Amino acid sequence: MSTTSTTAPGYRSSPRLGVWQNRLVWALQVLLALAFFAHGAMMVFPPAEVAALMNAAMPRWFQLFIGIAEVLASIGLILPALTGIQPWLVAWAAGGIMFVMVSATIFHIARGEYSSAATTVVLLVMATIVARARYQPRNRF
């Protein structure tokens, strides 16, 4: 029995993952993609009442930057793995999310928003699991 499983055309999971671990990582990828797509879209197109609160916390250009980066990261978590084209990008997308979540945790703790900081820590752990599971070291020869 092979230790790798084909999850999409042309995409093979890491040889160190079993079937159930691969499914768990896929579930984490989908949950992260949904969360970051929704949050990124809200940052780019905020409702009027939320926009006023966001504008008080950070400049609009930074909101757009974060929103677009989160939408692209959500696409990067799913699309390369589904298509089998450049699947190593999944680990990079998860790594980028890790950086954003560390920054967001610091931001929320500095503002005294501990429940939001706890949420970002959970997302950080999820992204770390995905990044580690999808990391594919290149041969150096």
pLDDT tens-digit profile, the chain (141 residues): 444 444 554 445 555 678 889 899 999 999 999 999 999 999 999 998 888 888 888 899 999 999 999 999 999 999 999 999 999 999 999 999 999 999 999 999 999 999 999 999 999 999 999 999 998 777 655
The CB density around residue 65, as the number of other CB atoms within 10 Å, is 14
Quote the CA–CA distance of 90 and 84 in Å, as a whole number: 11
pTM of the model: 0.81
Please give the DSSP secondary-structure letter assigned to residue 7. E
The whole-angstrom distance between residue 119's C-alpha and the CA centroid of its chain comes to 13
111 neighbors 35 (Cβ within 8 angstroms)? no
- 12: which strand partners? 6
What are 115-138's pLDDT values in tens digits?
A: 999 999 999 999 999 999 998 777
**% of the chain at pLDDT higher than 90:** 70
- 11: which strand partners? 8
14 neighbors 136 (Cβ within 8 angstroms)? yes
